[in-house]
């Protein structure tokens, strides 16, 4: 749970979002079967997916195997319309090799690897997957792509700021990345994301608040109390679902939180999201009895004891 981390939808769509799920919880709809990966046409004899340094080419190129609007990199590129901090984003950057991505937290499964995000492009695609998930039910709206770009741009910079914190909270962004012998771009490699926050409870806090509904204005931690972990922003690209990506990211998140001293790990889920609740139950999450404390009629709090 990161205070101030949730980016509110633009006012013009705020009303349309009423009744939809809170960000950070697995979407209730489990989507379609996976698409077959297809390499992108190369400009250097087929050795690389993309062999040019031109961002304009990256914007125009087709990227088969990406979900919905990620198929058009133009939609995933931040624009100067939204004032943001400078970054070194290059959307034709190749995915780091296993040797280059030397991470403290890593889990191999099937043709994927779950690990920490290590470069700006991975943080950006993580932010974009969240934007797609946030506006998924409004995919037919005329202006939704513009709202998604703004949402992703804001989340990208907020995410990097959270992960750079050195005191009080340990924030980790995990990504699930394709792990094969092809030289892929980062844009065509990241298929899932999840966030972990490990910290001591705040004064007056017993359980993590629902995403975006923290009522604690006091940011004084209680180091005499054991640390806990809180998981948010579980997202998987639509074409890559039903391949164990979410479950393996969750298992890695539990290990990472435990290594950082968390005794209990929490996550919110919609009460009627039966597929997600079944997944969490299989992993070992159990319903938390809040002892009469106020909670949303739509969400329930689950915990996992390490």
Q: Which residues are catalytic?
A: 280
C-beta separation of 242 from 35 below 8 A: no
Local structure of residue 263 (DSSP, 8 states) = S
d(CA 166, CA 183): 34
d(CA 194, CA 251): 11
Neighbours of 283 (CB within 10 A): 15
Q: Where are the beta strands (DSSP E) in the chain?
A: 106-109, 112-116, 169-178, 190-199, 228-236, 264-270, 286-287, 299-305
If residue 11 lies in a helix (H) or strand (E), which one and from where to where? helix 11-14
d(CA 281, CA 212): 24
| 3-class SS letters over 94-109 | ECCCCCCCCCCCEEEE
Neighbours of 212 (CB within 10 A): 15
């Amino acid at each position: 749970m990161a205070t101030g981390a949730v980016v509110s939808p633009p006012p013009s769509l705020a009303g349309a979002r009423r009744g939809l799920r809170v960000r950070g919880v697995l979407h209730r709809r489990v989507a379609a079967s996976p698409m077959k990966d297809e390499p992108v046409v190369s400009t250097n004899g087929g050795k690389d997916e993309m062999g040019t340094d031109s961002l304009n080419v990256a914007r125009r190129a087709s990227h088969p195997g990406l979900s919905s609007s990620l198929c058009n990199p133009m939609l995933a590129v931040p624009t100067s319309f939204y004032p943001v901090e400078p970054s070194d984003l290059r959307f034709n950057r190749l995915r780091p090799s296993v040797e280059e991505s030397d991470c403290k937290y890593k889990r191999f499964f099937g043709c994927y690897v779950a690990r920490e995000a290590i470069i700006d492009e991975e943080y950006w695609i993580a932010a974009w997957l969240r934007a797609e998930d946030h506006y998924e039910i409004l995919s037919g709206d005329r202006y939704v792509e513009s709202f998604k770009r703004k949402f992703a741009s804001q989340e990208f910079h907020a995410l990097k700021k959270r992960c750079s914190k050195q005191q009080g909270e340990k924030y980790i962004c995990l990504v699930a990345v394709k792990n094969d012998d092809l030289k892929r771009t980062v844009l065509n490699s990241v298929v899932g994301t999840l966030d972990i926050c490990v910290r001591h409870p705040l004064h007056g806090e017993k359980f993590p608040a629902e995403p975006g509904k923290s009522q604690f204005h006091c940011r004084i931690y209680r180091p005499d109390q054991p640390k806990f972990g809180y998981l948010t922003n579980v997202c998987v690209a639509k074409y890559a679902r039903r391949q164990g990506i979410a479950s393996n990211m969750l298992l890695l998140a539990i290990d990472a939180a435990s290594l950082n001293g968390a005794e209990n790990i929490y996550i919110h889920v919609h009460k009627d999201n039966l597929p997600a609740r079944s997944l969490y139950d299989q992993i070992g999450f159990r319903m938390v009895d809040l002892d009469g404390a106020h909670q949303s009629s739509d969400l329930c709090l689950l915990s996992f004891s390490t």
